[in-house]
Amino acid sequence: MKLKTRILKESDWETMCSWWKWWRWPSMNKEILPMNGTGGIMVYKGKTPIVVGFLYLTNSKAAWLDWIVSNPLYKESDRKEAIALLINTLEEIGKKQGYDVIISITRSKSLINIHKELNYTVDKNPSYEISKKIN
């Protein structure tokens, strides 16, 4: 069966939240995600969701790829391929929208390696995610 992509639906929200919880991430608020949690892409095979991610479109030539989370129960050999398909699909969306650069951050070694294989520049010095809730 072939890997496919689609735009997120409102009905995907609980699935994503369960994945974030399993990976010990804090649950996201829909309001901080593109299009209130539906502005992302899901990769799936058959009826099985595999991985999701979001692309923030800005008023500059840079877009932000973030919140990639995968199905912790999906153990098939094409998992890495699914993640690469997600990143490439979000990249294509950015290109079609006129963006020149995609920025992303992660501490996941597997995601870092997939980004490297897709010709992303990975800084050798670690950096820190810094955020503050202001409202």
- What is the model's pLDDT at position 56? 96
Domain boundaries, the chain: 3-117
Q: 3-117 adopts what CATH topology?
A: Aminopeptidase (3.40.630)
One digit per residue, the tens of pLDDT, for the chain of length 135 reads 899 999 999 999 999 999 999 998 887 889 999 999 999 999 999 999 999 999 999 999 999 999 999 999 999 999 999 999 999 999 999 999 999 999 998 888 999 999 999 999 999 888 887 877 777
DSSP sequence for 72-108: TT---TTHHHHHHHHHHHHHHHHHHTT--EEEE----
Per-residue model confidence (pLDDT) at position 33: 95
**The model's pTM:** 0.92
Element (H, E) at 67: strand 62-70
